[in-house]
């Protein structure tokens, strides 16, 4: 209804592959139902999540809440004291006293400033508000990458909300929907709202390792206004955090980062099986620290150059954000399952290009596998299977680069053909139309 004859012809052809909008929507509904069932069973087993002998939801959020509580009642610097924050978590949070699990505060003072108000509310209301606020930003920014390329009746938001990455993030009460949402919004705003895009990038100072590629892509795309806005925002944000939390929190953060590097990255043990990085894969396979770092750095350099190449060759927002988000996961030696929310952003960007120019069977299957990757990462500490996560990320990056280069060649050939007079200039039209119908 209301569709042109061409649109009526396109839609049936678009649905012929078994992985299409309808099957994805149905699968997303099933996955969401499974996640809700898991939460319901968890609430039943733990008497409404009151039994802290069993790790329930919001375990990581209790660190945020605990840091806020310490900062407001004692001093912000004390949030970096593992003993002090564990006392607060044991008393108010999700772990009982005597638990062998350690939940340290490992974040810079910028994030401490951001979470400062959290403990003004009790833990559970604060957790729900944080998840709703960051989740709202994330879903809106991710779906925004699709624009009007996907029919609203397909409920694309369902595939984001029901993604395993979101489930893991909500279960743990992490901040990855906030960081991924800021990155997606920044790329989406780059052309129309360059200053606001810079503000979003500057706010990623809450996790600076996730913003390392932005200076590169902004330089490649010559987005000077956005670069200036990002730099000013980051500087002002950092200055405000130091003014409120104290200068001593800066060296304390670097000390906590070194602790994390030693205990969670280099000698992570079981943690390696939940980290989709080449360093973790190498260490889990028994490779020494120096060679593991060499592998990680080599892949990070390749990811950086691949991202720069994509941003130089195309202005397509979807491909740009797909390259940026995937490469961000590849360059960091410390990535947990919940940060695969960034991979969902990459998938959305890739699909935004695919619905216009077609998706092959292999691409569809790989996108579904990437969407499901957090299931493997989250359960692998129990299974101790080889860490395959980084290889999925490399495959995703290779897909983005290949599609970018292919599209650039077709685009160039199309311009050359259109420059010639006569029937040859119209011969490419059926091929282009057929590409769109395969999406």
pLDDT digits (tens, 9 = 90+) for 48-91: 777 666 677 889 999 999 999 999 999 999 999 999 999 999 88
Other beta carbons within 10 Å of 357: 16
- Quick one: tokens of 204? 């990623």
- As a whole number of angstroms, the distance between CA 377 and CA 286 comes to 19
Per-residue pLDDT tens over the stretch 335-385:
999 999 999 999 999 999 998 898 999 999 999 999 999 999 999 999 899
Q: What is the DSSP letter of 12?
A: H
- Quick one: tokens of 136? 């709202």
∠168-326-171 over CA atoms, to 5°? 5
Per-residue pLDDT tens over the stretch 380-413:
999 899 999 999 999 999 999 999 998 866 655 5
Coil, strand or helix at 61: helix
Residue with tokens 């900062």: 71
Per-residue pLDDT tens over the stretch 23-34:
888 888 999 999
- As a whole number of angstroms, the distance between CA 366 and CA 360 comes to 10
pLDDT at 148: 72
Helix axes 361-383, 164-172, angle to 10 degrees: 30
- As a whole number of angstroms, the distance between CA 290 and CA 266 comes to 10
Q: What is the DSSP letter of 240?
A: H
What's the chain's Rg over C-alpha atoms?
Answer: 23
Closest Cα to residue 76, out of 122, 127, 116? Answer: 116
Classify the C-alpha dihedral 114-207-281-367 as positive or negative. positive
Helix axes 123-144, 61-73, angle to 10 degrees: 120
Other beta carbons within 10 Å of 80: 24
């Amino acid at each position: 209804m209301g569709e042109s004859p061409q649109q009526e012809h396109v839609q049936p052809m678009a649905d012929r592959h078994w992985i299409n909008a309808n099957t994805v929507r149905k699968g997303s509904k099933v996955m969401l139902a499974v996640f809700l069932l898991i939460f319901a069973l968890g609430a039943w087993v733990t008497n409404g999540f009151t039994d802290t002998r069993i790790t329930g939801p919001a375990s990581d959020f209790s660190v945020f809440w605990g840091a806020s509580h310490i900062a407001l009642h004692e001093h912000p610097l004390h949030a970096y004291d593992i003993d002090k924050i564990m006392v607060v978590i044991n008393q108010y949070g999700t772990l009982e006293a005597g638990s062998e699990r350690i939940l340290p505060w490992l974040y810079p003072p910028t994030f401490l400033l951001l979470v400062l108000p959290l403990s003004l509310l009790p833990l559970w209301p604060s957790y729900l508000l944080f998840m709703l606020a960051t989740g709202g930003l994330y879903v809106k920014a991710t779906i925004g990458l699709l624009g009007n390329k996907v029919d609203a009746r397909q409920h694309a938001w369902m595939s984001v909300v029901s993604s395993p990455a979101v489930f893991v993030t909500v279960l743990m009460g992490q901040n990855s929907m906030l960081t991924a949402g800021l990155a997606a919004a920044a790329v989406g705003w780059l052309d129309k709202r360059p200053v606001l895009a810079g503000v979003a990038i500057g706010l990623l100072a809450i996790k600076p390792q996730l913003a390392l590629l932005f200076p590169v892509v902004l330089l490649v795309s010559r987005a000077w206004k956005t670069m200036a806005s990002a730099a000013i925002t980051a500087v002002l944000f950092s200055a405000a955090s130091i003014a409120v939390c104290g200068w001593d929190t800066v060296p304390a953060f670097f000390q906590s980062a070194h602790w994390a590097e030693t205990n969670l990255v280099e000698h992570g043990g079981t943690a390696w099986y939940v980290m989709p990085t080449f360093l973790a894969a190498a260490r889990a396979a028994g490779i020494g620290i120096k060679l593991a770092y060499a592998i990680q750095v080599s892949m990070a350099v390749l990811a950086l150059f691949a991202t720069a190449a994509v941003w130089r060759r195309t202005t397509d927002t979807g491909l740009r954000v797909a390259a940026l988000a995937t490469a961000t996961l590849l360059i960091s030696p410390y990535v947990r399952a919940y940060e695969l929310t960034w991979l969902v952003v990459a998938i959305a960007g890739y699909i935004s290009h695919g619905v216009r120019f077609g998706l092959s069977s292999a691409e569809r299957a790989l996108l579904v596998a990437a969407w499901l990757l957090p299931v493997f990462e989250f359960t692998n500490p129990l299974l101790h299977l080889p860490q395959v996560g980084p290889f999925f990320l490399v495959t995703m990056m290779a897909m983005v680069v290949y599609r970018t280069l292919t599209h650039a060649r077709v685009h160039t050939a199309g311009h050359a053909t259109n420059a010639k007079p006569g029937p040859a200039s119209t011969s490419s039209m059926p091929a282009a139309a057929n590409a769109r119908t395969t999406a």
